Every structure is written in C-alpha cells, then in structure tokens.
Chains A and B, each alone.
Chain A
C-alpha cells in the first residue's frame, strides 16, 4: 500500500516538474523569438563540409538533413576505424604484457599505464598540435610512397577506386558477398567434420583468401572496369584521390592508442583468468603449445575478454565526440557545433544528437548482451 502511494506521489511530482519545465521552455523560447521545429532541416546549409567518405555534399544545394547524416556517417566511420585498430593493437599489447620477456612486458606495462592515466582530450590535442602538425611536411614537400600515397600536414591521401559503370561494380560486390556467405557455410561444414572426425580445417585463413580471390575473380569477369584515381601534387595542395584530413588522422590515432591500453588490460585479465589446470591438463593430453593456446586457453579467455572490450568500443564511439577539439567534422562538431550556431535550434539539434548516441549505444550494448547470452556456460 505504502509502495503504491509513494509511486503515485513520485510520478505525480515528476509530471508536475516536467510540465513546469515545459511551460518555462515555451515562455523562454517565445521571449527569444526562436520558432522551434523541424522546418530548418530542409533548408540549405550555408557552410562547407570538408570530409565525407560516402555521402556527397554540395555547397548551396545540400540541406541540413544532409549535414546531419554526414555527421552520423563520420562518427560511425571514425569509430569503426578506431575499433578495428584498437582491437589489433590492444591484443598485441595485452599479449606482450604477459610475455616471459622482462623488457617486453615492462614496455607494455609502461605503455598501458601512461595512456590510461592521461585524459584523452590531452592526448588528442598533443598528437595533433604538438606532434603531427609541426613534424609533418607542408603539402609542397609531401612524404610519398611510390607517388600513390601522400602524407603531409594537411592529411593522408590515398588512391580512390573508381568503378567505370555501376553494374560491374555491383557484380564485383556480389562476388565478395557470395564469398563471405560461403565462408559461413564452410565454417559450419568444418565444425560438423570436426565433431565427427576430429579433423581440423583452417576456416579463417581459407575464408580470408577466398574473399580476396572472389573479389579478384569478379574484377576479371567484368573485364577490369576499375581504375585508380591517384592523388596528384598541385601547386598548393593535392588534388584527387581520397583525403583523410589531419584532424581525422590525429583523432583516429589518439582514440586507437588510448582504447588499446584498456583493451590490453582486458586481454591480460582474460588470459590470466584461465585456470592453470587447463594448460596443464592440455599438455598432459599431449597438445602442442600452440594448440594449447589456440584451442584451450584463448576460447576460454575470450569469454572474459569480450564483454568489457565491447564496452570499450562503446566508450570509443562516445569519445569520438572529442573530435570537436581538433575540428574534425563528426556528429557533435558539425551538428551540435556548427549547425547549432547557424540556426539557433538548440532543442531539436541537441535532442537529435542525443538520440543518435543513444541508438549507437543501444546497438553496441545489444551486441554485448547477445554475446553474453550465447557464451554463457550452460550449467548441468
């Protein structure tokens, strides 16, 4: 009874508070004369968006909707790049941390401790303004690799792959997708065979090369419809190719190194959590050291490593909003920053920004929950 009364009271107070806030907001907005609504989203955005890997932006034509989606796209883009690199680096450092070699494990420890204990914002600013910007050359004197990849203090330039017509591009993509699906079937078959006969099949290596081969076959079948657009050195800057602006590069570098330190600690904890009896039992069964690691220790360690690592992925995605400090055009910088300044639509813009981050975090933690459910030890 008391529970019901208190719940009704709290709910009532909350509704009252929200109504009060609502009326205050309406009054404040009226006083400032800002009409709030979604109408501005269809207006043409009066500023230039520099970096957009997939969506096109045309100054004077593209609307605020487009700006918003480019922001979302760039946030996801830098997060995925960061997650891939941080995972590889994190596992490497985590394994180094457990190396029997004293120098290697100490080096890994120093790496982890320094990167973990310094604010990410400081690291982003440091890499961008104190390391990359002063030490990389001007565009005129770009560092280059075989005149195809260029690096200078404006960014990194790589060749762009251009499909001559859309159908052949689609055919190539279809080949690659088919190879990926084939790999799944291969894995299923290999598992069945392993259960029946105990013979092992190198699924992942076969799959990896199979996908590359499928892409190549697709190119051959369609008659080499692809061409490369190389970045070329102009008078002041590079033209053509794909440009990764320096802020993106610095942000990616800082996010990767910072997150890798946390992942490395997860990896170390996970491997150490596997009971020593497991290793001893598998060597008693006559498994080689490599097999012991791959088939006994790592599968068990993964169960401990992956959940906190996924929450690091979520942190990395949220931390990508620090791009605003180096002016890389991801969601927060371009939407809550520039677009908000231009339109004054604070309510709508901040609500949309929040919504995107909430959706991203629901997706990522949904992945974590799915994994947890699947990998739970089934008790007997």
Chain B
C-alpha cells in the first residue's frame, strides 16, 4: 500500500502509449509487418489487390456503359476503354425481364402486381424480424394462411379478373423467390413431422421417417427435379395435370423437408433431456408434451440451422432450369444471349445475377449468425 503525504506528492499524468505501438503505425506493425514472413505476405497481398481491385472497379464502374439505350452504347464504352467493360445499359433495358420474367417483361404496365406482392412480403418479414413488434404470432399465422393466396391472386391474376399471367411464363427473380419461399414454408410442417417421427418410439413412424429423410438427402436436387418432371406425371391419372412450376414446387418441398427435418432433429437432440422428463412427470400426454414443451423450445433453437438450409435452397433454386424454368440466372443468360445483346453483355449478366444472389444469401447468413449468437448467450446461465 502506498502512503502519500497530501500536498507534497503529485502523481504524474499517465503518458500516452508510444507511437510505435499505437495508432495506425502500431496497428500496421502488429497486423501487417510482425515478422519477415508477414512482410513478404503483406507485399504479395498488396500486389494482388493492386492487380485485381482497380481493374475491377474500372471495369464495373468507371469505364462501364451506364446510359439507357441499345448495344451501341456498350460498344462505344468498350472502344473507349480499349477492352470489354460492364454493360449496365443492358441491365437497365432488360431489368423487367430479368427480375419479373417473360410475362411481366412484356406487359410492363402489369408490373405493379409482383412489386405489390413483394412489398407486402418484405413488410411481413420486417415485422417478424424486428424486435419488440407486437402480435408477432398473429402476424405469422395470418400471413402463413392468407399470404400464399394473396400472392397467387396477384401474380397469376385470374381470381381478380386481371390479365392472366400463366405460370409457364413466370420467371426471373420473382420465380426464384416464389420457389424458395414456398419451398421453405411448405417444407416446415413436413420437416417437423419427420423429425418427430425419427425420434418416435413407434417403429412404423420411425422407419418411414428415416427412409423419407435419407432418400431425399441422398440424391442431388437435379435428379429430384428431373424425377418430378418425368416420373410424377406417370404416377397420377392422365387427367391430373401439373404445370412445370407446380412440379418444381413439389420436388423442392419434398427435398427441402428432409433438410428441415434434420435441422429440427439437431435442435431436439440439443434440448436438455430434463424438459421432456419433467413434462412426463407432470403427467402430460405425448401431444401436450410435444406441442407445449418440446416444440416451442426446439423450433426456437433450430432457427439458425433452418435459415442455413434456406440459404442452400435459395442458391439451389437456380437448378430449376433443368425442367425448363427460367429463374433469375437463366433469365439473365437468356436475355444476354439474345440477338440484341449477344457479345457485349454476357459477363455483365453473370455479375448482375451473382450480385443479387450474393446480397440475399449474405444478408440471411449474417442474420443467422446474429441469431445464433443471441440464442447462445440466452441459453448460457
């Protein structure tokens, strides 16, 4: 213990850290130049960045063609730059087709319909994801029941007496979203049932669930889609006619439900055993125990895993091209290869589609990570 004599002794004020260890120089010293090897790696890395980032920026932004017009704009931009550059003109001219598919690309005055559906959808999602909004349960239940009809009514148009957009002419990013969202929502109940079945003591349910889950998980999605398009029509009487979109939806729902089931099973395993035992001790029956004790907790901790399977599904929707549907990727390729734009826009089309996929998947991944962290701390006492 120090004993200081008041009035005689003044502490010196704390000195700031030496400049060589703080601020930007210190940061660079510890993070970039801590050893000879790191100096070398840093120099190589800087060289690579210098070689890739500036050319990409000038390709995508500075030298690119941004105006609204026809392909001559892009050709001029290429000539001015002396090499091929991004042709955003093409994206601007063809945006309606790439985003909303062939029908809405041609009937541009009907485009408010998918936009309205999308806005309502975004509003529901925002409502559910924002913390501390009231009536989350009611909103979720209500939109689960009514939103599919609402969306179909506007997108298809027949029920409302609007101009009919046949599902065969749906496409673009709209179709990607329709397939992915329907897939995940429809797969949820099947997935829950299968996960419960897999944990069940009843041998028939258990065997059926295991077979169901492993069957879909063992096959690539392209074969499942292909099967839906070639074999399913054989299974049903000739009068039952599925269109392509319905086939894709059935295939993707079955496929996705196996992955959802596994995500939920992981959560069921992670749930402390005491929860089920306590419910048994209280004398609750199987359904009471499952519906009021097990599932509410298991579903909550399975959300990150389900979001992760949804990210995979979202990317996998691009495979519906195998049964002849034009999703975002195929729509951008098809327009880029059209006579009007061939040769100036192919890389731009890839980059544009990749950008949209990237934005959505990385946002979902960030959400899932965030949620995982939150749930993690909540369960640690």
A322 touches B319 (CB 8 A): yes
Could you tell me the distance between the alpha carbons of A31 and B236 in the complex, rounded to whole angstroms? 13
Q: Which residue of B lies closest to A114 (CB)?
A: B358
A350: which of B46, B223, B350 is its contact (CB, 8 Å)?
B223
* Closest Cβ neighbor of A104 among chain B residues: B41
* CB-defined contacts of B48 to chain A, threshold 8 Å: 107
Q: State whether the Cβ of B9 lies closer than 8 Å to any Cβ in chain A.
A: no
Contact B223 A125, beta carbon cutoff 8 Å? no
Q: Check: B61 CB closer than 8 A to any chain A CB.
A: no
B-contact 0/1 string along A317-329, CB 8 Å cutoff: 0110110110000
**CB atoms of A322 and B222 under 8 A apart:** yes
- Residue tally, chain B, CB below 8 Å to A: 56
Q: Could you mark each residue 244-277 of chain A with 1 if its beta carbon is under 8 Å from any beta carbon of chain B, else 0?
A: 0000000000000000000000000000000000
Check A100–B31 contact: CB distance below 8 A. Answer: yes
Query: Chain B 220-256, CB within 8 Å of chain A: the 1/0 string?
Result: 1111001100110111111000000000000000000
* Chain B residues, CB < 8 A from A346: 230-231, 234
Contact check, B220 vs A347: say whether CB atoms are below 8 A apart: no
- Residue pair A103, B41 in contact (C-beta under 8 Å): yes
In the complex, chain A residues whose CB is within 8 Å of the CB of B329: 119, 121-122, 125
Using Cβ atoms and an 8 Å threshold, which residues of chain B touch A27? 237
B41 / chain A contacts, CB cutoff of 8 Å? 99, 101, 103-104
The docked-state distance in angstroms from the alpha carbon of A24 to that of B233 is 10
Contacts of B203 in A (CB 8 A): 7
B223 and A354 within 8 A (CB): yes
Cα–Cα distance between A353 and B230 once the two chains are bound (Å): 13
Tell me the dominant secondary structure on chain A's binding face.
helix
State whether A350 and B358 are in contact (beta carbons under 8 Å apart), knowing that A101-B38, A103-B46, A357-B218 are contacts in the complex.
no
A residues less than 8 Å from B231 (CB atoms): 346-347, 350
A24 touches B223 (CB 8 A): no
Shortest CB distance A60–B (Å): 28
Bound CA–CA A324/B223 (angstroms): 11
Most chain B CB inside 10 Å of its own CB: which residue of A117, A354, A362: A117
- Chain B: which residue is nearest A121 at the CB level? B318
Within 8 A of B (CB), among A293-345: 318-319, 321-322, 324-325, 332, 336, 340
Does B129 sit within 8 A of A, measured CB to CB? Answer: no
Q: How far is the CB of B51 from chain A (nearest CB, A)?
A: 12
Task: Say whether B322 faces chain A, with CB atoms less than 8 Å apart.
Answer: yes
User: How many of A's residues come within 8 Å of B, CB to CB?
Assistant: 51
Find residues 97-147 in chain A having any chain B CB closer than 8 Å to their own CB: 99-104, 107, 113-114, 116-122, 125-126, 129-130
B115 at the interface (CB under 8 A from A): no
Q: Whole-angstrom distance from the CB of A118 to the nearest CB of chain B?
A: 5
Known A114-B358, A122-B354; judge A3-B202 contact (CB<8 A).
yes
User: In the bound complex, do residue A118 and residue B358 qualify as a contact, i.e. CB atoms below 8 Å apart?
Assistant: yes
Is the CB of A10 closer than 8 A to any CB of chain B?
Answer: yes
B215 interface residue (CB < 8 Å to A): yes
Q: Which A36-51 residues have a C-beta within 8 angstroms of B?
A: none
A140 to B215, CA, bound (A): 48
Whether A100 contacts B38 by the Cβ 8 Å rule is yes
CA gap between A325 and B225 in the complex, in Å: 14
Given contacts A346-B231, A354-B223, contact A102 B204 (CB under 8 A): no
**B32 in the interface, Cβ–Cβ < 8 Å?**
yes
Residues of B within 8 A of A31 (CB): 238
Report whether B233 and A28 are in contact in the complex, using a CB–CB cutoff of 8 Å: yes
B204 touches A121 (CB 8 A): no
Proximity bits, B348-360, A CB within 8 Å = 1, else 0: 0010011001100
Contacts A7-B204, A126-B354 given; indicate if A324 touches B322 (C-beta within 8 A). yes
CB of A318 within 8 A of CB of B220, answer yes
| Residue among B30, B202, B231, B350 having the largest count of chain A Cβ atoms under 10 Å | B350
Cβ-neighbour of B222 out of A103, A116, A321 (below 8 A): A321
Are A25 and B234 within 8 A (Cβ)? yes
Q: Is the CB of B361 within 8 A of A25?
A: no
A117 & B361 in contact (Cβ 8 Å cutoff)? yes
Q: Are A353 and B223 in contact (CB under 8 A)?
A: yes
Interface of chain A residues 11 through 41 with chain B (CB within 8 A): 11, 14, 21, 24-25, 27-29, 31
Bound-complex Cα distance A99 to B44 (A): 14
Q: Which residues of A contact B46 (CB under 8 A)?
A: 103
B220 touches A357 (CB 8 A): yes
Q: Does B49 contact A (CB under 8 A)?
A: yes
In the complex the two chains form, is B208's CB within 8 Å of A101's CB? no
Q: Is there a chain A Cβ closer than 8 Å to B45's Cβ?
A: yes
What chain A residues lie within 8 Å of B222 (beta carbons)? 321-322, 324, 332
* Cα of A11 to Cα of B203 in the assembled complex, Å: 11
- A126 and B204 form a contact (CB under 8 A): no
Contacts A102-B31, A119-B329, A332-B220; A130 near B205 (Cβ below 8 A) = no
| A24:B227 contact, CB within 8 angstroms | no
The reply to whether B357 and A358 contact each other, CB–CB distance below 8 Å, is no
On whether the beta carbons of B204 and A119 are closer than 8 Å, the reply is: no
* A321 and B358 contact, CB distance less than 8 A: no
Q: How far is the CA of A336 from the CA of B229 in the complex (A)?
A: 12
Q: How far is the CB of B279 from chain A (nearest CB, A)?
A: 18
Inside 8 A of A325's CB, which chain B residues have their CB? Answer: 321
- The distance from the CB of A354 to the nearest CB of chain B, in whole angstroms, is 5
Does A62 touch B at the CB level, under 8 Å? no
Contacts of A350 in B (CB 8 A): 223, 226-227, 230-231
B362 touches which of A99, A113, A336, A347 (Cβ 8 Å): A113
Give the Cβ gap from B126 to chain A, nearest Cβ, in Å.
21
A129 CA / B365 CA spacing, docked (Å) = 29
Q: Return the contact of B357 from the options A3, A100, A118, A357 (Cβ within 8 A).
A: A118
With contacts A21-B235, A117-B361 known, is A361 near B217, CB below 8 A?
A: yes
The residues of B with any CB-CB pair to A shorter than 8 Å are: 30-32, 34, 38, 41-42, 45-46, 48-49, 201-205, 208, 214-215, 217-223, 226-227, 230-231, 233-238, 311, 315-319, 321-322, 329, 333, 346-347, 350, 353-354, 357-358, 361-362, 365
12 contacts between A and B (CB under 8 A): A7-B203, A14-B208, A101-B45, A103-B32, A107-B45, A113-B362, A118-B354, A119-B318, A122-B353, A122-B354, A129-B346, A322-B222
| Given A101-B32, A103-B32, A324-B222, 5 more pairs with CB closer than 8 A | A10-B204, A113-B362, A118-B315, A322-B319, A361-B219
Residues of A within 8 A of B (CB): 3, 6-7, 10-11, 14, 21, 24-25, 27-29, 31, 99-104, 107, 113-114, 116-122, 125-126, 129-130, 318-319, 321-322, 324-325, 332, 336, 340, 346-347, 350, 353-354, 357-358, 361-362
